[in-house]
Structures are given as structure tokens and as C-alpha cells.
């Protein structure tokens, strides 16, 4: 993915009080950071933050971490937080390949993956956030009852994800190939910016929920 560099984004992310910067070489003590013992949910590749901020606003009893590796994208979420701060949400500007550095085993109750980069070339399959390699990382940090939720408009990536879940020995709890026409799975659905754009173009939205 190539993104337009935004002047001042690196500095803004580095100094923002809404971004976790400390203890990046060891798991963070999330109870101290949030000053409570609420369950922790994480979105990987959070983009501009619309989905996660809506979740945090409607679920104050849950703590949220949004991971976005690109400062030129994360800066947009930071600006939203500056306009309407949420005490149960923080961001991290890190590579998801290093999740075990930031979360201890069992820290996370739920992981959200929304419209992740499909990495369409076969040689890049290991980089897909639903690859077996990434599922192993999620397995490390998820609690015993933790779940993974994945949404995409890319059918090939969705099929790949279903195969990865099977190969990794995970359980498929729910699955739909047309989320917005599935009353049960669409109940309470929060649309991301991409989801709104793609569905307006008539593209079906695919979703799955999985657990170990």
C-alpha cells in the first residue's frame, strides 16, 4: 500500500495523548492504562477510526485499542478524538506482525479486521491479516473465549480466510456472503468508511466470526 505522505503526521502521532507510546518492547499493563479491568477489544488496520470510535462510544464498559501502522491515516483518527475524546479508546502506530510485544497472552477478548489489504499476489499471502501466520499471533493474545471478526468486500480474500481458519484449526462460528441482507449477522452492524463506499456501489459485504 502506498499512501500520500501528510506533512506533520509523524510528529502529531508521536506527541498525541491518544496514542500509546510506552513499553513497546514488552506487553503493556492495560488495566493501568485504562484505570479499570474492563475487557479489551482490538481493531487491526483501523483506518480513520470511524468503526472503532462508534463502538467505543456505544460500549463504555469495554476498552478499545486501534492499531494503524500509517501515520498519514492515523492522524485523521487522532483529529476525530481531539474533537470528541473517548476515555475507553487509545491508538497504536505499530506493525501488527509484532502483536506479541504489546499484548500478553489472553489480554484480548475480541479482534476486528475490517477491509484489510488483500495482498492479491500469491507470494504475499503470508502478509494477509487472515493468514495462518497471523492467526497464530492472534491465538497467542486472545483470551480462551476470545473471537475474531472479519469483514471484507473481496470474495477471493474471504475464501482464502475461510481456508486459513480451517487450516489453523479454528472454529467458524458465523459466516455470511451478504452481510447487509442477513438480518441476524447485520444486527447492530457498524459500517466503516470503506463498507459504506463499497456497499453503495452494490458490492456484497462478506463477514465471518471465528474462535479457537
Dump pLDDT digits (tens) for 39-53.
Answer: 999 999 999 999 999
Q: How far apart are CA 183 and CA 130, in angstroms?
A: 25
The whole-number pLDDT of residue 6 equals: 87
Average pLDDT, rounded, for the chain: 94
Q: Please count the CA atoms within 13 angstroms of the CA of 169 that sit on its side-chain side.
A: 2
The Cα-based distances of 150 to 18, 135, 159, 202 in angstroms read 25, 12, 12, 19
Catalytic residue among 107, 117, 122, 159: 117
Query: Domain 9-211 is in which class?
Result: alpha beta
The whole-number pLDDT of residue 1 equals: 47
Q: How far apart are CA 188 and CA 172, in angstroms?
A: 20
| pLDDT band per the 50, 70, 90 thresholds, residue 137 | very high
The whole-number pLDDT of residue 5 equals: 77
Angle at 109 between CA 104 and CA 111, to 5 degrees: 95
Query: When comparing pLDDT for 176 and 101, which is higher?
Result: 176
Find the radius of gyration of the CA atoms of the chain: 17
Query: Is the predicted pLDDT of residue 33 greater than 70, yes or no?
Result: yes
Query: Is the predicted pLDDT of residue 162 greater than 90, yes or no?
Result: yes
For 63, the 3-state DSSP assignment is strand
Q: What is the mean pLDDT of residues 21-45?
A: 87
How do residues 56-113 score in pLDDT, each as one tens digit? 999 999 999 999 999 999 999 999 999 999 999 999 999 999 999 999 999 999 999 9
Whether 37 sits among the annotated catalytic residues: the reply is no
Strand partners, 100: none
Query: Is the predicted pLDDT of residue 3 greater than 80, yes or no?
Result: no
Amino acid at each position: 500500500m502506498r499512501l500520500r505522505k501528510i506533512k506533520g503526521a509523524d510528529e502529531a502521532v508521536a506527541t498525541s495523548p491518544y496514542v500509546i507510546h510506552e513499553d513497546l518492547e514488552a506487553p503493556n499493563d492495560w488495566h493501568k492504562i485504562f484505570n479499570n479491568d474492563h475487557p479489551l477489544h482490538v481493531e487491526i488496520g483501523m483506518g480513520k477510526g470511524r468503526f472503532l470510535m462508534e463502538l467505543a462510544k456505544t460500549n463504555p464498559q469495554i476498552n478499545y485499542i486501534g492499531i494503524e501502522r500509517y501515520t498519514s491515516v492515523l492522524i485523521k483518527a487522532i483529529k476525530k478524538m481531539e474533537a470528541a475524546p473517548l476515555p475507553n479508546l487509545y491508538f497504536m502506530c505499530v506493525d501488527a506482525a509484532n502483536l506479541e510485544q504489546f499484548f500478553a497472552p489472553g489480554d484480548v477478548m475480541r479482534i476486528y479486521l475490517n477491509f484489510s489489504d488483500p495482498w492479491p499476489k500469491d507470494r504475499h499471502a503470508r502478509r494477509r491479516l487472515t493468514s495462518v501466520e497471523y492467526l497464530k499471533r492472534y491465538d497467542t493474545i486472545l483470551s480462551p473465549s476470545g473471537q475474531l471478526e472479519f469483514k471484507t468486500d473481496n470474495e477471493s480474500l474471504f475464501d482464502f480466510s475461510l481456508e486459513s481458519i480451517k487450516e489453523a484449526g479454528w472454529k467458524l462460528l458465523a459466516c455470511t456472503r451478504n452481510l447487509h441482507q442477513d438480518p441476524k449477522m447485520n444486527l447492530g452492524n457498524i459500517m466503516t468508511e470503506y463498507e459504506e463506499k463499497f456497499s453503495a456501489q452494490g458490492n456484497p459485504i462478506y463477514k465471518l466470526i471465528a474462535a479457537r
